[in-house]
Structure formats: C-alpha cells, structure tokens
Amino acid sequence: MDESQLIARVRAGDSAAERALYDAHVDRVYRLAFRLAGDDALAQDFTQETFIRAFDRLGSFRDAAFSTWLHTITTTVVLNGLRKVKRFRQREADIDDAHDIGVAQRHAEPDLKARLKQAIDALPEGYRTVFLMHDVEGYTHEEIGVVLGVETGTSKAQLSRARAKLRVALADFAGEWVQ
C-alpha cells in the first residue's frame, strides 16, 4: 500500500493505518528531535507531540510530501519546546543561582567532544538547526527550506556561516582535519 492510501485510511479512522504511518516515520522524527534536544526524555516528548499534532491535523494535509509536512511539525514542536524549557531554566537560574552557572562553566573540559558541543550549542538557533539537519541528519537544502519556511539559498548561507563559526571555534584541533 502506498503512503497516500495509508493517509486516506488514517483519515477514515483506521487505527492500524495510524500505527503503520507512525512506524514508517518515527525513527527519523525521533532522531531529529534527539539531535536538536540532546536529551532522551525531551526527544520522546517532542516525538509524541509531533505525531499527536500530525494525526489531529491530517485533515488539513494537502498534496505535499507527507514526510516534509511531518518534519515541519517536528521542527516547530522541538524549537518551540526548547525555547520554552530554556526560558524556564534561565528565569529560575536568574532568580536564585547565578553562582552555580559560573562554577559549571569553569569545569568545562577542553577535549574535542566537550569543545564541539560547546561550539555547536553556541551557534544561533537557525545556523545550528540547518547544520544538524544538513550535515548530520542528511536533509537536503530543499527539504530544509520547506521545513523551516526559508529560501533554499538562506539554508545554504546559514550552513556556510555555521561551518565558518565552528571552524574558528575549533581551530585548536586543526591538526586533526588536516591529517
């Protein structure tokens, strides 16, 4: 059965078709959520929220690629969710333990893994999202453009700027990639 038939069956209320559609897409949705969130509990929450919204709104899905439509919902859910959690943590940190933040920063280890994480986390949200989607999860610039609602050229430019920033931030490790 092809995907459009599956979608038609989901719209008709077939729960087995819902499960089949979920099985076909859940791995990629969860992977993207995990890459962006970096936490299993959050990635699970975002994946669940994505499918709940997708099934609720399937009536409004028209003629596009289902996968692209689903990943548009995924990035919206993940980026909004991360902003919400970040605001919440920031506000609480501002209120009562700015001291702890200072301590945590001083303990950062200068190894590649930690430096890479620090550098990627420091990228502006748009650059980071495009970099992870394109270079790590293998989305094309066309897909990214549709999913994030930007021009393909914008996606390419953001990737280029993200790599440039990371190259500067990771200059200490130049020996590794020159080899």
Question: What's the min distance (Å) between Cβ of 63 and another protein?
Answer: 23
What backbone torsions phi and psi does residue 27 show, to the nearest 5 degrees? Answer: -60, -45
Kindly write out the interface string for residues 95-134 of this chain, putting x where it contacts another protein by CB under 8 A and - elsewhere: -xx--x-----------xx--xx--x----------xx--
**How far apart (Å, rounded) are the C-alpha atoms in residues 76 and 143?**
14
Q: Is the dihedral of CA 26, 32, 33, 34 positive or negative?
A: positive
How far is the C-alpha of 119 from the C-alpha of 140, rounded, in Å?
23
Least distance between another protein and beta carbon 31 (Å): 5
Containing 104, the helix (H) or strand (E) segment is: helix 98-106
Residue 85 lies near another protein (rule: CB under 8 A): yes
User: Count of alpha carbons within 13 Å of 12, Cβ hemisphere only?
Assistant: 9
Q: Which of 124, 122, 127 is nearest to 154 (CA)?
A: 127
Q: Is 72 in the site for another protein (CB under 8 A)?
A: no
Read off the DSSP letter of residue 111.
Answer: S
- List all residues 6 or more positions away from 87 whose beta carbon is below 8 Å from its beta carbon: none
- Residue 151 within binding range of another protein, rule CB under 8 A: no
Residues that contact another protein, how many (by CB under 8 A):
56
Options 8, 136, 149, 172; binder of another protein; rule CB under 8 A? 136
Per-position x/- string for 8-47, each x denoting binding to another protein as judged by CB under 8 A, each - no binding:
-----------x--xx--xx--xx--xxxxxxxxxxxx-x
Question: Using CB under 8 A as the criterion, which residues of the chain lie in contact with another protein when the complex forms?
Answer: 19, 22-23, 26-27, 30-31, 34-45, 47-49, 51-53, 55-56, 81, 84-85, 87-89, 92, 96-97, 100, 112-113, 116-117, 120, 131-132, 135-136, 156, 160, 163-164, 166-167, 170, 176-178
